[in-house]
Amino acid sequence: MGRGKIEIKRIENSSNRQVTFAKRRAGLVKKAREIGVLCDAEVGVVIFSSAGKLYDFWTPKTTLPRILEKYQTNSGKILWDEKHKSISAEIDRVKKENDNMQIELRQAYERRGCELPAAQGTDRH
């Protein structure tokens, strides 16, 4: 005899919701492990609880960067370019700001007739 069907909607009782989450998370990870072993598939599962706690599972020899790279290659979707552009622009901005501060510091030392201390780690770029 099979189990009865339940209506798929948010469980209002928080303790029941937590128990259901734990059981279903375990079931999902079990299925991911099984498909990985049975079919020699690369599988990755990432789950965040309603409290924000991270749960993840990766088949052996699988990593998040590897899965994302394969996804991006096979789907043609670009996942990280905008973030990388933003970070690169921020790095350029900080480098320019650093250069300007060094110029100002050098000028301040020159105005006072002092010698600039020797720089440590001259390879900045």
pLDDT at 123 over 70: no
Give percent of the chain above pLDDT 70: 89
Is 0.85 topped by the overall pTM? no
User: Left, alpha or beta for 61 (phi > 0: left; psi -120 to 50: alpha)?
Assistant: left
Chain centre to alpha carbon of residue 116: 42
- 10 φ, ψ (degrees, to nearest 5): -60, 135
User: 37 or 72: whose pLDDT is higher?
Assistant: 37
Q: What pLDDT is recorded for position 18?
A: 95
Q: Are 56 and 44 in contact (CB under 8 A)?
A: yes
59-110 per-position pLDDT tens digit? 998 888 888 888 888 887 777 666 677 787 889 899 999 999 999 998 988 8
